[in-house]
Amino acid sequence: MKATICHPLELGTAEIDLWRSFQHANGTLASPFLTPEFARVMSEGRPDFNLAILEDGGKIVGFFPFERRSLGVGRALCYGFADSNALIHAPGYQWEGTELLEASRLSAWQFDHLIADQIPYFAPQDVILRQSPIIDLSAGWESWLARKENSKRFKKLRGHERKLVRELGEPRVELDMRDMGLLNLLIQWKSAQYRRTGRSDRFARKWFADGVRRLFETRSDGFAAELSVMFLRDRPASVYLSLRSGDRLAGWFPAYDINLASYGVGIIHQLHLLMHASRNGVNFFDCGAGEESYKRTFSDFDMQMAKGTLSRSAAVALIHRIHAAPRRKAMEFVLNRPQLRKAAKNALMLVGRARTCLRSS
């Protein structure tokens, strides 16, 4: 294996076309987070974002995007922000994870959403498996609706929807709006939600907020950032940013008017978004890893992913395990116990309220 290291923006047209052909040939690589558009746009202004172009037998066989950190450690591109990590490779190509790291001049590689097919290549040492709920719309909207409408969760959703219509009127949903002002409204609402729930505000990172805005303006045959908006009385009530690649739509950032939370506007919007998406060629909707109840209301199956670190040497692997073990064990202990998970969420909410009060004062 030979690797040429460059910045994603240095890719030529022929290489971008080859990258896309690798995705088209393998459905497990179809995520919009694995497209050349995502890698290139999010890399603007980030010299630490690298790309290894892999060759074998004189031919390009793969593209490996990563973020280079100190001491030769790499992380998945947009670690903590992208919902899929992978090596984008030619059909049938086999490789060794440690060989890939050596060719990319990395001592270790950290990932948080590694796709299931590549776990055996990257995760023999240190890995946590996680589930990403998927909504299967491939049989059509009416078929999907028939499978779901008798469940307890779905009936509860329909009750929220009837109350909404009765008190505020029929919602109007637009699938793909090209209004930067509405994207900025989503960012404003989402940042407020992060602060309110005690979580780190992703959009406080300028490079990321700017990258999302650039993605919103990016269009190609294989990629689009689509903004769906639900209006009530001609005012935005809920906004949802998704990324599309072919027949796959990946939900990324949902946000809603907190003053309308009691009506369940976010989950009602999700239902209407799925209907519109299904009727516009979407076969699979990726909810992203997480156990939020709205994802379980709609999902049909789980796609397995992994979080962990692959290291070239046993010594480096041991250092990473020692460093990550306390936090990992604590997270596993809490996440595997519903009462503790609920208590942790409530604690974050208290932190968020305190943070909001301090900002107000």
Query: In CATH, what class is 2-133+304-352?
Result: alpha beta
3-class DSSP string for the chain: CEEEEECHHHCCHHHHHHHHHHHHHCHHHCCHHHCHHHHHHHHCCCCCEEEEEEEECCEEEEEEEEEECHHHEEEECCCCCCCCECCEECCCCCCCHHHHHHHCCCCEEEEEEEEHHHHHHHCCCEEEEEEEEEEECCCCHHHHHHHHCCCHHHHHHHHHHHHHHHHHCCCEEECCCCCHHHHHHHHHHHHHHHHHCCCCCHHHCHHHHHHHHHHHCCEECCEEEEEEEEEECCEEEEEEEEEEECCEEEEEEEEECHHHHHHCHHHHHHHHHHHHHHCCCCCEEECCCCCCHHHHHHCCEEEEEEEEEEECCHHHHHHHHHHHHHHHHHHHHHHCCHHHHHHHHHHHHHHHHHHHHHHHC
**Architecture of the 138-282 domain:** 3-Layer(aba) Sandwich (3.40)
Higher pLDDT, 14 or 316: 14
Structure confidence by residue, pLDDT tens digits, 167-222? 999 999 999 999 999 999 999 999 999 999 999 999 999 999 999 999 999 999 99
Q: Per-residue pLDDT averaged across 91-118, rounded?
A: 95
- pLDDT for residue 292: 84
Q: Per-residue pLDDT averaged across 270-280, rounded?
A: 96
Chain mean pLDDT for the chain: 89
Q: Per-residue pLDDT averaged across 228-244, rounded?
A: 97
Structure confidence by residue, pLDDT tens digits, 319-342? 545 555 555 555 555 555 556 555
Q: Where are the domains of the chain?
A: 2-133+304-352, 138-282
Q: Is the pTM of this model over 0.85?
A: yes
Question: Over 80: is that where the pLDDT of 32 sits?
Answer: yes
The reply to whether domains 2-133+304-352 and 138-282 share a CATH topology is yes
